[in-house]
Structure 1
Amino acid sequence: MQISISVPYDEQRLRRTLRFLANRQMKPYRILGVAFVVLGAALIALDLTSPAGYGITAGGLALLFAVVPITVASGMRMQSAAVKQGYHLSLTDEWAQVSYPLVESRFRWQGLDRVVETPEVWYAMFGKAQALTIPKDLMAPEQQAQFSAFTANLPR
């Protein structure tokens, strides 16, 4: 496999990637959020004037609905200026190489945990919180088919 594409900076793609990664880490917080909402509702049912019940419910709702958007916004603010210049992506049978104008990274496919496919991109997961975004819309149909066949043959 030899695929080479230029990937312009796309803020929405970066937001989707950060949201994808944040959502993967949020399961314990969502469970805690549901527990807080139920506990808060029970306290409110017992005493409508209970400030603790309203506070616990508000905290649970924040865990359910506010943490991911806050995490994504924070992640966007923390991005290096080098990332906001677009990159060149080279995929071979052995390596995935990302070359920004000021930064370069190489990932050996042997270190890959898995590939998650969405309608817009593939996320090559190197660990639980590091994903290489491989956009489909910038690839020719033959390249998409080639990469899809390559990922199907990767050891799981």
Structure 2
Amino acid sequence: MTLDDEGITTTHPLIGSRVRWTALSHIIETPEAWYLVLSRMSALTVAKTRMTGDLRATFTEFVHELRPVAK
């Protein structure tokens, strides 16, 4: 996963995606993950369990600067 000023890019051996921040409807944060909501039927899940504490803090700060987070 790579974040930049324009969006988020994910890459895996068989698939990849690029989502621009302007495409997000809202962001939902739970204790386990962030859900970057694109529409009623589509969201990108970012699991917290695979992140170090420092990475979680950085990601939290980044998404809070983008848009208000729904809970």
Q: TM-score range by the shorter chain?
A: 0.7 to 0.9
Q: Please, which of 1, 6, 9 is the counterpart of residue 97 of structure 1?
A: 9
Which sections of structure 1, spanning at least 5 residues, go unmatched?
A: 1-88
One of 91, 110, 116 as aligned partner of 2:22:
110
TM-score (normalizing by structure 1): 0.40
Aligned residues: 68
Partner of residue 56, structure 2: 144
Structure number with greater Rg is: 1
Q: TM (normalized to structure 2)?
A: 0.81
Same amino acid, percent of matched pairs: 37
Label 1:93 to 1:141 Cα distance change in 2 as closer, same or farther (>3 A): farther
**Which ranges of structure 2 fall in alignment gaps of 5 or more residues?**
none
Give the distance between the partners of 1:155 and 1:123, measured in 2 at CA: 13
Instruction: Report the RMSD for the aligned CA atoms in angstroms.
Output: 1.5
Report runs of 4+ in structure 1 exceeding 6 Å deviation.
none
